[in-house]
A and B are shown apart, each in its own frame.
Chain A
Amino acid sequence: MLLSVLSGFILAASLPLIGKYLKEKWAILFSLLPLSLFIYFLSFQPDISDDKNLLFSYNWVPSIGVDFNFHLDGLSLLFTLLITGIGSLVFIYTAAYLKGHPYLDRFYGYLAMFMSSMLGLVLSDNIITLFIFWELTSISSFFLIGFNNDSEASRKSSLLALGVTGFGGLFLLAGMVVLGYVGGSYSILELMNATDLIQSHPLFVSILVLVFIGAFTKSAQFPFHFWLPGAMKAPTPVSTYLHSATMVKAGIYLLARFTPVLGAHEYWNSTLIIVGCITMVYAGIHAIFRLDLKGILAYSTISALGILVFLIGLGTDDALLAAAVFILVHALYKATLFLVTGIIDHETGTRDVSKLSGLNKVMLPVGIAAGLAALSNAGIPPSFGFVGKDLIYEATLHIGDWAYLLTGAAVITNICLLFAGFLAGFKPFLGKLPVTYENVHLPSPLLYVPPLILASLGILFGILPLLVDDSLIKPVVAAMLNTSSDFFHLQLWHGWSTVLLLSSITIGGGVGLYFILNPSEGLLTKATRFEPISPLSITGKITGLFHGISQGYTSVIQNGYLRYYVITILVFLSFLLGYKIFQGIDLYLNVATLSEITIYEVIVLGIMAVSIVYTVFTKSRLVAVASMGVIGYCICLVFLFYSAPDLAMTQFSIDTLTVILFVLVLYNLPKYLKLSDTGSRVRDGLLALIFGGLISLLTLEVLNEPLEREISAYYAETAYKLAKGKNVVNVILVDFRGSDTMVEIIVLAIAAIGVFSLLKLRLKSIEKE
């Protein structure tokens, strides 16, 4: 199982080696991978319909409970079959669609990577592993949307898509981690047993919000839907596979998967119903006004995803059943329509629906596939779509309070969807063939057989719902309800009922609309008048604003002036110190412990004070250096007073040396220039006073503390006895703490090299980089 999930990554990783041999003529061989996976997963079907839960566990990072635990139940089986089944057809289709493309091997690499990530996503029982695969689908989608990397629009769309899904993904990560923390496990199976605990936890709302953001961004729900139409910049096989049949359903999968854990809660239901409802109606209406076939399909996909979210939100047995069926229905017809669009684009060079007609005359099999898919999409008997639509109405009608409103929304959505399906499925093929397209001919069977297969399945399952009833749909519903489900049988004919009436209204309304409304530039322009208030443009504006703010913020913070940097650091430090000193310490000065002040000290202090004033206010560098030297000597005197002649000597020599060096260096420099104004000098002076004052205060407070003499006593004691030295300071420097001294000597050596290179090394202009 692990191998089968990861096989796509293995294939992708081996491409740099084998890719170039395959991409010329044998690209079709790539489809063996999804095909064999399809058969492999199909072989589990009998177990699943026997209500078995198959669990495959492989250790990965057991110490934090993140492992490959693949759980195969009805829900994941349906998705694996969709992923590998549609995957096989898309792989085959691609071989012809991108024939001779120089980067065909990379394309298959990304597709294979995506397929594996998607399989991992739907099979993982571990929510962190699930998230990992989730992100990998976003990344593969990024690479696939940007596949035409020369085009700026492609790059922008892929960034947008990654931005939105990545944003959601990170929230989802947070959601998963919290869920794991609250529920005490990363395993969905175990979380299902902790539903009460989770739903009563104060963090439950946070979990919901985080999971919703993840699911809504991925499944293109309002107001995060806007990345999906842009994602149609990707080559058509990608749109088919990722952005209609599988990846965008990851959010749906997530919601379905978590229904037994988070579902059946007021917030869960109402949020999903509202968001799903808005999305399905909003996108459905949008779909009507598009001219680009892919645009139409993109919006109708968003609308369909809205329906699914809505159904999961309703959460009743009926609704979940309807959702399960609709996932399959939608995958079959929408993938067909996308593939057909790809063929049209490939052969005629346009996707503008107002220019296309009569293509049946030149590519009949394609037309048949499109027609069948449009039938299923419209929910016209005997298609599988009809079964699906009935179930949706069944679900909305029995919801209680809001039944009329919600059913109405569903009817409107379905009318729009039907219209969109007809536009994509019938419009290009019926009517008169324009002269320009007379030379168009039927493409390779590799292109039209895959949509034909999908479309026929859409009809076959309608006529014989038995084929998928027990085997596929029931286990899905069972997985979502976390019980066995025997309350239904799929059937085409339900007898005369309200549902049938609604279906008829839908079909009648949609077909009527199809004849009345003719897609044209004019309509599109009218629709785009609302563009400035659409989530896409609002997001664009927010992004722009955000970028501007970041720019402003960065240029204020990183302003390039060293003096402001130093000021900021000192202000920050002084603020923290000041706060802590005045808030956390009882300030007092224990005068009794201080020794008496002698006249010598007063004099020395006076000299120091005068020197400091001189250093600060003098206009000559030499005077400043000399005054600093005086301060240094005064410190030596202080050391002397407190019986530390060794320290005094050391300080004395250092000070002398420093002053001499400084004088030598400064001698050649010009006179002081006054570069700063008085205001900034006062400011700097104040800051210096505050900072110095705080440090002095701190030092005084430290003096109040009892002195710990253990270590210095040890030094005094053993300096002669053990270290054989009479000057304790020297012994400390060269023996007790000899390592410090050695390292400081190295510091000097390095500095010497630095000075040498600064003075001597002049890079010739050709050597600079």
Chain B
Amino acid sequence: MSNPYIILPVIFQLFTAILLMFFWTKKNSQKLISIICSLITLGISIWLITIVLLQGIHVTQAGGWEAPFGITFVADPLSTLMILLTSISGLAVSIFSTGSVRNARIKFGYFPIFHFLLMGLNGAFLAGDIFNLYVWFEIIIISSFVLITLGGEKAQLEGSIKYVTMNLLASVVFLTAIAILYGLTGSLNMADLSIRVANIENRGLVNVTAILFFVGFGIKSAVFPLHFWLPASYHTPPPAISAIFGGLLTKVGVYALLRVFTLIFIPDDFMTDVITWVAIMTILTGCLGALVQNNIRKIFSYLIVGHIGYMIAGLGMYTEAALVGTIFYLIHDIIVKTNLFMVTGVIFKLKGTYSMRNLGGFYKTYPKLSLLMAVPIFSLVGIPPLSGFWAKVFWIESGFITENYLLVFVLVFGSFLTLVTMAKLWAEVVWKDGDALPMKINVKYFWELKPIKRVAMIVPIVLLSMVSLYIGFGAEHIISISRLIGSQLIDTTPYIEAVLGPLNAEVI
């Protein structure tokens, strides 16, 4: 179904970013605009996912050039779901930023760049053209790079160099892959590629190209052994920025892997083996890394890596049920990781440190906050029936069906390590009696903030915690959406037909 308005989530974010630039130094207007526009984007994404779920896939051809000649944007359940999640996280972080980001940063374009980043994410999800996807990745890299360096502190710069170097490397690999794919097929439209790649006789060449894509997106999604940039950089910028990174940046890599390896390349046995081993090592590396950290932001950074491993595992097993698990986990993970990084922001504002050893006393001093923190923390662990739990049922079952016993074991073991890490964090940060920490002069403490700013830091955490609870307890709805997406990942005919029109039998 053709519908030019599906591009609204991108255009509206672009509009927001430009509008914000007109208020360059007016921080209050920027905050207001950012929140209002994020709310409107959320509205748009709800509308978008509703029409897609009700009426099927919507497509628009940029400039009116028919596919595969122009650039296609596709709103299918997976992409609109990702946009919805981006908008939810975006709204939360936008509100959180108004309370937590220091004025100096706001006056140097924090909010415009933030909305450019969201635009890039939405664009990447809608892209139906592989080169266009690359271009959106550029937006994501450059805006995240600017956000990570904004403020120019030494730690930030050190982290950002690693971040940007490896991400540019990923882009180069991705671009090379696109070039080779274009050489093979003469096309860039993903639906068109799906058909053309399937018809190439030299499968060896196709598989090699697939490896390039895997590594390119693998760096983006921070899988082992390509993940180094993530633990090196995520703990350096202000918490609001970590929150949006932690929630969404790696997930766009996972999205791209899901899209490319279901639509264009159907993995051969070698590829699924590689993905499975990568998943195993990613889970272990991330969860073991988290176990030994002291900085709470590093703990969550490593856990991002570990849990990316889970999602990749779903791709490695390559059954519909496993993919359903991956989609479910993706939904859960975006919300919960965004939330946890915001929580670390609040913890820092209260205590002036991220060090677990020095933190403590939350149970006594801030019981209600502790209760609130418990929601994302235990959702992350996947204490049933909270949101991190459900996906595991799908993965374990698929693991046994596909006889990936080691993978199942590592999944279980990774969950165990997550449990231990989070329980330890809970005991140290919440239960333990905190030392009286020396006040730091360069920290603006929570109680020094204006009440409205304090509210702005707590409300988004409440908001995302409620979403997490809904994902857990309303699992039925989430599962039915994940199922729909899972089935469309396996049977891509609806996607292809939506882009290229009805196929005649021989092409398939």
- Chain A interface (Cβ within 8 Å of chain B)? 16, 59-64, 66, 106, 128, 131-132, 135-136, 139, 142, 146, 149-150, 152, 155, 158-159, 162-163, 166-167, 170-171, 173-174, 177-178, 180-181, 203, 206, 547, 549-551, 553-554, 557-558, 560, 562, 565-566, 568-569, 572-573, 576-577, 580-581, 584-586, 695, 698-699, 701-703, 705, 707-712, 714-715, 718, 735-740, 743-744, 746-747, 750-751, 753-754, 756-758, 760-769
How many A-B pairs with Cβ below 8 Å? 307
Question: With the chains together, A62 CA to B173 CA distance in Å?
Answer: 44
Chain B 199-213: CB-based contact to A (< 8 A → 1; otherwise 0): 010111101110110
- Find out whether the CB atom of A763 lies under 8 angstroms from the CB atom of B152: yes
Cβ–Cβ < 8 Å partners of A150 in chain B: 431-433
**Could you tell me the distance in whole angstroms from the C-beta of B417 to the nearest C-beta in chain A?**
9
Contact of B161 among A549, A562, A577, A754 (CB under 8 A): A562
Contact of B204 among A131, A573, A585, A708 (CB under 8 A): A585
Q: Which residues of B, 98-143, contact A by the 8 Å Cβ criterion? A: 102-105, 108-109, 112-113, 116, 119, 123, 131-132, 135-136, 138-139, 142-143
5 contacts between A and B (CB under 8 A): A132-B384, A159-B420, A569-B219, A580-B270, A747-B138
Taking chain B's interface residues, is the majority helix, strand, or loop, or is none over half, making it mixed? helix
B423 within 8 A of A: yes
Cβ–Cβ < 8 Å partners of A712 in chain B: 186
- Find out whether the CB atom of A765 lies under 8 angstroms from the CB atom of B441: yes
B70 within 8 A of A: yes
For A133, give the chain B residue with the smallest CB separation.
B384
- Find out whether the CB atom of B423 lies under 8 angstroms from the CB atom of A753: no
**Could you tell me the distance in whole angstroms from the C-beta of A391 to the nearest C-beta in chain B?**
37
Cβ–Cβ < 8 Å partners of A702 in chain B: 180, 183-184, 205
Chain B 430-444: CB-based contact to A (< 8 A → 1; otherwise 0): 111100000011111
- Find out whether the CB atom of B479 lies under 8 angstroms from the CB atom of A750: no
- Chain B interface (Cβ within 8 Å of chain A)? 14, 62-63, 65, 68-71, 102-105, 108-109, 112-113, 116, 119, 123, 131-132, 135-136, 138-139, 142-143, 145-146, 149-153, 161-162, 165-166, 169, 173, 176, 180, 183-188, 196, 200, 202-205, 207-209, 211-212, 214-215, 219, 225-226, 228-229, 231-232, 238, 270, 274, 285, 288-289, 291-292, 302, 348, 352, 363, 367-368, 371, 378, 383-385, 389-390, 392-394, 396-397, 400-401, 405, 408, 412, 415-416, 419-420, 423-424, 427, 430-433, 440-444, 475-476, 479-480, 483
Question: With the chains together, A760 CA to B232 CA distance in Å?
Answer: 25
Contact of A558 among B173, B180, B232 (CB under 8 A): B232
- Find out whether the CB atom of A146 lies under 8 angstroms from the CB atom of B420: no
Contact A747:B475 (CB < 8 A) given known A569-B169, A702-B180: no
- Find out whether the CB atom of A155 lies under 8 angstroms from the CB atom of B427: yes
- Find out whether the CB atom of B479 lies under 8 angstroms from the CB atom of A705: no
- Find out whether the CB atom of A64 lies under 8 angstroms from the CB atom of B479: yes
Contact A739:B149 (CB < 8 A) given known A695-B176, A750-B116, A767-B103: no
Contact A761:B207 (CB < 8 A) given known A16-B368, A735-B63, A740-B71: no
- Find out whether the CB atom of A751 lies under 8 angstroms from the CB atom of B65: no
- Find out whether the CB atom of B196 lies under 8 angstroms from the CB atom of A580: no
- Find out whether the CB atom of B416 lies under 8 angstroms from the CB atom of A761: no
- Find out whether the CB atom of A711 lies under 8 angstroms from the CB atom of B231: no
Contact of B180 among A576, A698, A756, A758 (CB under 8 A): A698
Contact of B480 among A63, A106, A173 (CB under 8 A): A63
In the complex, the 6 A-B pairs of residues with the closest C-beta atoms, listed nearest first: A708-B186, A754-B146, A584-B204, A585-B204, A149-B431, A132-B384
- Find out whether the CB atom of B183 lies under 8 angstroms from the CB atom of A703: yes
Cβ–Cβ < 8 Å partners of A586 in chain B: 204
- Find out whether the CB atom of B152 lies under 8 angstroms from the CB atom of A761: yes
Cβ–Cβ < 8 Å partners of B384 in chain A: 131-132, 135-136
- Find out whether the CB atom of A751 lies under 8 angstroms from the CB atom of B162: no
Contact of B442 among A701, A714, A769 (CB under 8 A): A769
Q: Identify which of B14, B131, B151, B232 gathers the most chain A CB atoms within 10 Å of its CB.
A: B151
Question: With the chains together, A152 CA to B71 CA distance in Å?
Answer: 61
**Could you tell me the distance in whole angstroms from the C-beta of A428 to the nearest C-beta in chain B?**
32
- Find out whether the CB atom of A708 lies under 8 angstroms from the CB atom of B288: no
Given A569-B228, A737-B132, A766-B441, 17 more pairs with CB closer than 8 A: A61-B475, A106-B367, A170-B412, A170-B416, A180-B397, A557-B228, A572-B215, A580-B207, A580-B211, A584-B270, A698-B209, A702-B183, A714-B69, A746-B119, A747-B142, A750-B116, A768-B102
- Find out whether the CB atom of B162 lies under 8 angstroms from the CB atom of A565: yes
**Could you tell me the distance in whole angstroms from the C-beta of B416 to the nearest C-beta in chain A?**
5
Contact A580:B204 (CB < 8 A) given known A135-B383, A738-B63, A743-B123: yes
Contact A740:B135 (CB < 8 A) given known A155-B432, A580-B270, A699-B183: yes
Question: With the chains together, A483 CA to B242 CA distance in Å?
Answer: 60
Cβ–Cβ < 8 Å partners of B389 in chain A: 132
- Find out whether the CB atom of A698 lies under 8 angstroms from the CB atom of B208: yes
Question: With the chains together, A760 CA to B420 CA distance in Å?
Answer: 44
Contact of A760 among B108, B166, B423 (CB under 8 A): B108
**Could you tell me the distance in whole angstroms from the C-beta of B237 to the nearest C-beta in chain A?**
11
- Find out whether the CB atom of B225 lies under 8 angstroms from the CB atom of A568: yes
For A167, give the chain B residue with the smallest CB separation.
B416
**Could you tell me the distance in whole angstroms from the C-beta of A573 to the nearest C-beta in chain B?**
5
- Find out whether the CB atom of B228 lies under 8 angstroms from the CB atom of A701: no
Cβ–Cβ < 8 Å partners of B65 in chain A: 735-736
For B389, give the chain A residue with the smallest CB separation.
A132
Question: With the chains together, A736 CA to B143 CA distance in Å?
Answer: 26
Question: With the chains together, A698 CA to B352 CA distance in Å?
Answer: 53
Question: With the chains together, A501 CA to B116 CA distance in Å?
Answer: 86
Cβ–Cβ < 8 Å partners of A128 in chain B: 393
Question: With the chains together, A389 CA to B363 CA distance in Å?
Answer: 46
- Find out whether the CB atom of B184 lies under 8 angstroms from the CB atom of A705: yes
Contact of B383 among A136, A764, A767 (CB under 8 A): A136
Cβ–Cβ < 8 Å partners of A562 in chain B: 161-162, 165-166
- Find out whether the CB atom of B173 lies under 8 angstroms from the CB atom of A162: no
Cβ–Cβ < 8 Å partners of B433 in chain A: 150
For B71, give the chain A residue with the smallest CB separation.
A739
- Find out whether the CB atom of B202 lies under 8 angstroms from the CB atom of A565: no
**Could you tell me the distance in whole angstroms from the C-beta of A123 to the nearest C-beta in chain B?**
16
- Find out whether the CB atom of B161 lies under 8 angstroms from the CB atom of A162: no
Contact of A750 among B146, B202, B393 (CB under 8 A): B146
Cβ–Cβ < 8 Å partners of A737 in chain B: 70-71, 131-132
Cβ–Cβ < 8 Å partners of A753 in chain B: 108-109, 112-113, 146
Contact A159:B423 (CB < 8 A) given known A547-B292, A558-B228: yes
Cβ–Cβ < 8 Å partners of B348 in chain A: 769
Contact of B152 among A167, A549, A718, A762 (CB under 8 A): A762
- Find out whether the CB atom of B150 lies under 8 angstroms from the CB atom of A761: yes
For B116, give the chain A residue with the smallest CB separation.
A750
- Find out whether the CB atom of B196 lies under 8 angstroms from the CB atom of A708: yes
Contact A565:B104 (CB < 8 A) given known A63-B483, A170-B416, A768-B153: no
- Find out whether the CB atom of A743 lies under 8 angstroms from the CB atom of B138: yes
- Find out whether the CB atom of B226 lies under 8 angstroms from the CB atom of A710: no
- Find out whether the CB atom of B108 lies under 8 angstroms from the CB atom of A757: yes
Contact A573:B186 (CB < 8 A) given known A155-B432, A568-B228, A763-B102: no
**Could you tell me the distance in whole angstroms from the C-beta of A350 to the nearest C-beta in chain B?**
25
Cβ–Cβ < 8 Å partners of A554 in chain B: 285, 288-289, 292, 302
Cβ–Cβ < 8 Å partners of A576 in chain B: 211, 214-215, 274
Question: With the chains together, A703 CA to B292 CA distance in Å?
Answer: 50
Contact A173:B392 (CB < 8 A) given known A708-B187, A767-B103: yes
Cβ–Cβ < 8 Å partners of B149 in chain A: 754, 757-758
- Find out whether the CB atom of A769 lies under 8 angstroms from the CB atom of B196: no
**Could you tell me the distance in whole angstroms from the C-beta of B97 to the nearest C-beta in chain A?**
14
Question: With the chains together, A66 CA to B116 CA distance in Å?
Answer: 42
Contact of B109 among A64, A173, A757 (CB under 8 A): A757
